[in-house]
Amino acid sequence: MSDILAEPEKVRVGCSGWSYKDWVGGFYPADLPAGEYLSFYSKFFNCVEIDSSFYRIPSPFMIEQWKRKTPEGFLFSPKLPKKITHDNKLQ
């Protein structure tokens, strides 16, 4: 078994994305600009799933933007692209 499973401090908690309009006024303050959602989100969670990678691979520029908006050690978990999981059936 992997050592990561034996270390409680390695447990990650997050959501499948961070830019949901219905979170505004509930999770996100109503006056928070959309460009600050990820920074705000990362104050409460230590990881996030990148759902958009299922449809297209994020650009290096976009990845760098996400990295700058989150603290060191924050984990991004990208979905495998649709081309691999569905079109090629993991082949």
> 50 has which bridge partners?
78
> What is the pTM for the complete model shown?
0.79
- Beta-bridge partners for 47: 14, 75
Name the residue range of residue 28's domain: 13-87
Alpha-carbon distance of 10 to 7, in angstroms, equals: 6
Residue 54 confidence (pLDDT): 86
**Ranges under pLDDT 50 in the chain:** 1
Q: What is the pLDDT of residue 1?
A: 44
- How many domains would you assign to the chain? 1
Is residue 7 in some structural domain? Answer: no
58 found inside a domain: yes
In a domain, 2, yes or no: no
